[in-house]
Amino acid sequence: MEYASKLLANAVYEISQLPGIGKRTALRLALHLLKQPEQQTVALADALIKLRTEIAYCKSCFNISDSTVCEICANPKRDEGLICVVEDIRDVMAIENTSQYQGLYHVLGGKISPMDGVGPQDLNIGALVQKVKDGKVRELIFALSSTMEGDTTNFYIYKQLDGLDIVTSTIARGISVGDELEYADEITLGRSILNRVPFENSMKAN
Amino acid sequence: MEYASKLLANAVYEISQLPGIGKRTALRLALHLLKQPEQQTVALADALIKLRTEIAYCKSCFNISDSTVCEICANPKRDEGLICVVEDIRDVMAIENTSQYQGLYHVLGGKISPMDGVGPQDLNIGALVQKVKDGKVRELIFALSSTMEGDTTNFYIYKQLDGLDIVTSTIARGISVGDELEYADEITLGRSILNRVPFENSMKAN
């Protein structure tokens, strides 16, 4: 595509570097910004720069944070002995939104994926193993996605913990609450029968 | 949603002000930028600010331009007597890409749409009428989208030109080249029969 202006061409190029945004969408967004007050573009650019240059990560759990220790890790009411291992901070948000979890988190920053060039050394696994070795952790909950990469990562960490006194668990997989059995996929339905729970437990949860 | 960081919350808010981007996509984009080198975010922010603050519009046709007169209007090979009236610069790009048009453009900057609070005074209609009154223009081609707003805008401009010596036309509506008749909508098919062209003309176009 030919652009009438180099400024526009450059803006479209930079916007289209974002994932899931092609040249056409980038052009639409650039033209939208041109129609809005200048202040909106300034605020957007400013927010992006501030985010990228000033963001900090919690030195304990690697969650995004405005300070060196995040609000969750700093909260004395949370159970230090229970750590939920997640892929990224979106998972932390999702679990926090349930209000069902009172332990801490450990954000790996990704999954082991040789295809994408991500090895164990690229993730925050060393710090997690060290935490367990320090002896304060009672139980690890693996909450990675149930893909091949997620399972690989779970297994890698599990092997690293060999010989250490720690309980490990994974979040339950099963039919979503409110879902009809007939529309569930076979693997999920099969697992939910194998991993059935005592009826009394399911009553307690409600 | 609760964000662990005010910087992140702010960035997500600003990104989600863009059209077609919700909170979830905004979060995904913000986290993507955090994983990329800082230089990428700086380049993006810089391109947006430069676009918004330094962009100029051609004083003749209101196309986006890096100078006061755009390349198209400044080109002596283009036919000054023929002006194609379009909604925004994306339409200019689309028509330029065909390499079939050698006249000039006039970018209105939108369509008359009372529902969105856009009246004739918000568009570059006055300058267009003045151009015609100055007598250099032989023919106006209306190339707005064939919606109610587009037709209203066409008709408004047409009425403004009342009594002036000018030919007006609209781009042809019909079945796309290569399309099957059976899948065409009734209105387009109906119009393409009413506005049929001599067979010799259709041969010439190829």
Q: Which domains does chain A have, with CATH numbers?
A: 6-54 (1.10.8.420), 70-171 (3.40.1360.10)
User: To the nearest 10°, the Cα dihedral for B108, B111, B112, B114?
Assistant: -140
d(CA A110, CA A88): 6
> Is residue A28 classed as helix, strand or coil in its secondary structure?
helix
Inter-chain contact A14–B48, Cβ cutoff 8 Å?
Answer: yes
In chain B, pLDDT over 70 holds for what percent of residues? 97
Residue of B nearest to A30 (CA): B48
From the list B3, B31, B48, which residue is nearest A33 (CB)? B48
Name every chain A residue with its beta carbon within 8 A of the beta carbon of B54.
Answer: 7
**Other CB atoms closer than 10 Å to residue B194's CB: what's the count?**
9
CA distance to A27, B102, B200, per residue, from A132 (Å): 50, 73, 83
d(CA B151, CA A51): 45
pLDDT score at B190: 85
Name every chain A residue with its beta carbon within 8 A of the beta carbon of B41.
Answer: 48-49, 51-53
pLDDT score at B4: 74
Tens digit of each residue's pLDDT (9 = 90 or more) over B57-70? 899 999 988 888 88
Closest chain A C-alpha to B22 CA, distance in angstroms: 13
Inter-chain contact A44–B48, Cβ cutoff 8 Å?
Answer: yes
**Other CB atoms closer than 10 Å to residue A62's CB: what's the count?**
22
From the list B7, B32, B65, which residue is nearest A54 (CB)? B7
Q: Return the residue in B17, B18, B105 with the most chain A beta carbons within 10 A, the one to mutate for interface testing.
A: B18
Q: Return the residue in B28, B35, B46, B48 with the most chain A beta carbons within 10 A, the one to mutate for interface testing.
A: B48
Residue of A nearest to B47 (CA): A11
- Please say if the pLDDT value at position B85 is more than 90: yes
Mean pLDDT per block of 10 residues along chain A (206 residues) reads 82 95 93 91 95 90 88 92 92 89 93 92 93 91 91 93 90 84 85 81 65
Q: What is the Cα Rg of chain B in Å?
A: 22
Please state, rounded to an integer, the average pLDDT across all residues of chain B.
Answer: 89
From the list A11, A45, A51, which residue is nearest B8 (CB)? A51
From the list B25, B33, B88, which residue is nearest A51 (CB)? B33
CA atoms within 13 A on the CB side of B138: 6
Inter-chain contact A50–B10, Cβ cutoff 8 Å?
Answer: yes
CA atoms within 13 A on the CB side of A193: 7
Amino acid type, A132: V
Inter-chain contact B92–A4, Cβ cutoff 8 Å?
Answer: yes
Per DSSP, what are the bridge partners of residue B168? B140
d(CA B83, CA B103): 6
SS3 for chain B is: CCCCCHHHHHHHHHHCCCCCCCHHHHHHHHHHHHHCCHHHHHHHHHHHHHHHHHCEECCCCCCEECCCCCHHHHCCCCEEEEEEEECCHHHHHHHHHHCCCCEEEEECCCCCEHHHCECHHHCCHHHHHHHHHCCCCCEEEECCCCCHHHHHHHHHHHHHCCCCCCEEEECCCCCCCCCCHHHCCHHHHHHHHHCCCCHHHHHHHC
Closest chain B C-alpha to A194 CA, distance in angstroms: 34
ipTM: 0.78
From the list B11, B40, B43, which residue is nearest A51 (CB)? B11
d(CA A182, CA A111): 32
The token duo for A69 is 């220790």
Range B50-78 average pLDDT: 90
How, if at all, do strands B64-65 and B56-57 pair?
antiparallel
Range with the lowest mean pLDDT among A97-111, B31-45, B146-160, B188-202? B188-202
Angle, helices B89-98/A23-35, rounded to nearest 10 degrees: 140
> Is residue A141 classed as helix, strand or coil in its secondary structure?
strand
Inter-chain contact B93–A4, Cβ cutoff 8 Å?
Answer: yes
B46 vs B174, higher pLDDT: B46
